Amino acid sequence: MKHAALELLEKLIAIQSVNLHYGEGAQGEMEISRFIEAYCLKAGLKVSRQPVMEGRDNLIIELRTGHPGSVLLFEAHMDTVSLGSMENPLEAVYRKGRLYGRGACDTKGALAAMLVTMETCAAAPELLSSDLVLCASVDEEHAFRGLLKFLELDMPVSAAVVGEPTELKIVVAHKGCVRFAVHTHGKAAHSSVPHEGENAIVAMAEIIRYLADIVTPELASITDGLCGPATLSVGTISGGDQINIVPERCTIQVDRRIIPGEDPIAVMLELEEGLEQFCRAKGLRHSVEPLLLDYALDTPHDSPIVKAARDTAERIGLQSGIFGETYGSDASKLQGIKGIPSLVYGPGSIAQAHSREEWVPVQAVEEAATFYVELARAFRA
């Protein structure tokens, strides 16, 4: 007999929920939110909508069991990246112990397991020592606006479990990021007299060398035992209008991954100051545009949620160690903004997320559902 989480995952995959940021053809989260809402209401759960943007609502699902002083939050996002070149992205296909489909890994597998958890716990609330809340959020794949809107509710939460593909590892730390654009400003001229202009692309080449040869090597000494070293990557470059014009503007976008203990605002200021000193010395005209500042996750290893997760995993025969990751998640906002001890846990691997052949191990979805249920029953703040 097929596990309830797998049956539900098949239905979630069939509903296109590509984040609207990804352009033409993206349908957003409204249809999938309607499906989830109906599913939870049928299970006797309280469901409310929280508008985030036009036509895009968080779903907040509650199971109140008379323990307001101990509230466990489950959170997973409903949006996916674009369908890309994935073959049959909205069809759940089983093959060799894997379930393929867009979102199967990131992160509808975890979401399905969490929804089944809420339904299972609603059938036997007397086994819980905490109230349960599930936030099915929007916009994680772009700017985290769903989770940030949820935090505005100021709902009392004792601890949180965020669903992402961790290979069923208990993740208590992960990197954050500082994303920014650098613009160089030149002077346009005819390409036959380039000396009469200032080439913004040539200026940018010097800045890229500075980031690659001076800034990046220094990051090797900034490291975390679980997450590894801080890193920097130049992700995009654009400049110039046509071949016979000296370009007056060039732009790069840079991703600096921060580790636990680093403050994103302080890192951004340090980068701006370094670029200012370098460009002044080289006579380069530039400007810096911050794009996204995101916290790293650093949950105390002795917090009740970590202890309960480790005890639960050991009891049911799953990995009980604690781990760190290089990617980010909604968990860092829960902890960084509200101080909520949070961990990340879910089926699948980040290696399959966003890929042309996105899949999740069938057994891992089943085990995630078991883990979530047992953790819900074991946790007490």
Segments making up each domain of the chain, as ranges? 4-174+296-378, 180-294
Q: What is the pLDDT of residue 84?
A: 86
CA 303 to chain centre: 22
Is-cis flag, bond preceding 107, omega within 30? Answer: yes
Which residue blocks in 77-233 are alpha helix, DSSP H? 109-123, 145-151, 200-210, 216-219
Cross-strand pairs, 171: 323, 344
Q: Which two tokens stand for residue 106?
A: 């990131």
Q: Which two tokens stand for residue 297?
A: 């996750």
Bridging pattern class, strands 98-100 and 46-53: unpaired
Q: Indicate the SS3 state at residue 303.
A: coil
CATH value of 4-174+296-378 in 1.10.287.110, 3.40.640.10, 3.40.440.10, 3.40.630.10: 3.40.630.10
Report the C-alpha gap between 374 and 316 in whole angstroms.
9
End-to-end Cα distance, the chain: 36
CA dihedral of 185, 187, 188, 190, whole degrees rounded to 10: -140
Report the C-alpha gap between 321 and 309 in whole angstroms.
10
List the chain pLDDT tens, one digit each, 381 residues. Answer: 899 999 999 999 999 999 999 988 999 999 999 999 999 999 999 999 999 999 999 999 999 999 999 999 999 999 999 998 888 999 999 999 999 999 999 999 999 999 999 999 999 999 999 999 999 999 999 888 999 999 999 999 999 999 999 999 999 999 999 999 999 999 999 999 999 999 999 999 999 999 999 999 999 999 999 999 999 999 999 999 999 999 999 999 999 999 999 999 999 999 999 999 999 999 999 999 999 999 999 999 999 999 999 999 999 999 999 999 999 999 999 999 999 999 999 999 999 988 889 999 999 999 999 999 999 999 999
Q: What is the pLDDT of residue 1?
A: 84
CATH fold of 180-294: Alpha-Beta Plaits (3.30.70)
DSSP 88: S
